[in-house]
Amino acid sequence: MPELPEVETTRRGLEPHVVGRRILALEVHEPRLRWPVPRSLAQTLAGQRIEAAGRRAKYLLLELTHGTLLWHLGMSGNLRVLPADTPRAPHDHLDLRLDSGMTLRFNDPRRFGSVHYTTQEPRVHPLLASLAPEPFEDAFNADYLWRITRRRRVSIKQLLMNSRLVVGVGNIYASEALYRAGIRPGRAAHRLTRAEAKRLVKAVRAVLAHAIKVGGTTLRDYVGADGNPGYFRQRLNVYERAGEPCRRCGTPVRGLTQGQRSSYYCPRCQR
Ligand SMILES: [Zn+2]
């Protein structure tokens, strides 16, 4: 599933190819996404210029002349810029044809992705209005993490993955950040110390920033006609490494299930 770094990588990959371009047409091959694509959308978008490509949580925000497109990749979606005459593949549901001769093509086998258009300030849109802070925003800091962990007995990993508290920290990055901070994923959130809260904020940011940086090397995936849309696979320390030696101390990494998600940690490096 695309997590925040993949969405940011997508945004950076698309930006130079779409910003400043005029939309010739939206072609809807399959309107049944997570929410149906409105019939009127094609007419609304035609002729508008893409002014900027932003992101909030896992939504790509394409700022247009008169409004904003909120694009979510869902569980399995990807966006690529391709020559407009590139033959369509299975699950290619949308084409945003641009005046450059390219098309922004949306592929989504599971169809959990979505597209919304708003003429309001996007931050007040119902999908975005109540989102928690971004990991890179100042609002996500040690004091904030300390405060939200005080009365919660849920595990620290589940708290990190709660998008009402902080957005964009999925399963992989929560596991990796806890490893980096030396904290076991199963620890009750309220047992976090102040020093650990500080370390964990830094670790979350470092892990995400690294993933975005690594993603930068695969940007060609988003512009190549035959490039695999597969997201980058970075070198992970604990995620899906149960039984393999910790890269720091050699102790076998342990796996456990928390809230129906798999967690991984080093029993020696994490307390
Ligand atoms: Zn270790």
pLDDT of residue 109: 92
pLDDT, tens digit, 9 for 90 and up, residues 123-173: 999 999 989 999 999 999 999 999 999 999 999 999 999 989 999 898 989
What is the pLDDT at residue 233? 57
What is the gyration radius of the CA atoms in the chain, in angstroms?
A: 20
Structure tokens at 257: 């299930």
Active-site residues, by number, are 2-3, 58, 261
pLDDT at residue 199, as a whole number: 98
Q: Which phi and psi (to 5°) does residue 100 adopt?
A: -85, -5
- pTM for this structure? 0.84
Would you say the C-alpha torsion 145, 151, 157, 162 has a positive or negative sign? Answer: negative
- 3-state class (DSSP) for residue 175: helix
* Predicted local distance difference test score (pLDDT) of residue 175: 95
Q: How far is the CA of 246 from the centre of ligand 1 (A)?
A: 5
Per-residue pLDDT of the chain (271 residues; tens, 9 = 90+): 778 888 898 898 899 999 999 999 999 999 999 999 999 999 999 999 999 999 999 999 999 999 999 999 998 888 999 999 999 999 999 999 999 999 999 999 999 999 999 999 999 999 999 899 999 999 999 999 999 999 999 999 999 999 899 998 989 899 999 999 999 999 999 999 999 999 999 999 999 998 888 765 444 444 433 344 444 456 789 999 999 999 999 999 999 998 889 999 999 999 9
How many Å lie between the centroid of ligand 1 and the Cα of residue 98?
Answer: 50
Q: How far is the CA of 270 from the centre of ligand 1 (A)?
A: 7
Residue 45: per-residue pLDDT: 98
Sequence-ordered list of residues with C-beta below 8 angstroms from that of 203, at least 6 positions apart, any chain: 177, 178, 180, 181
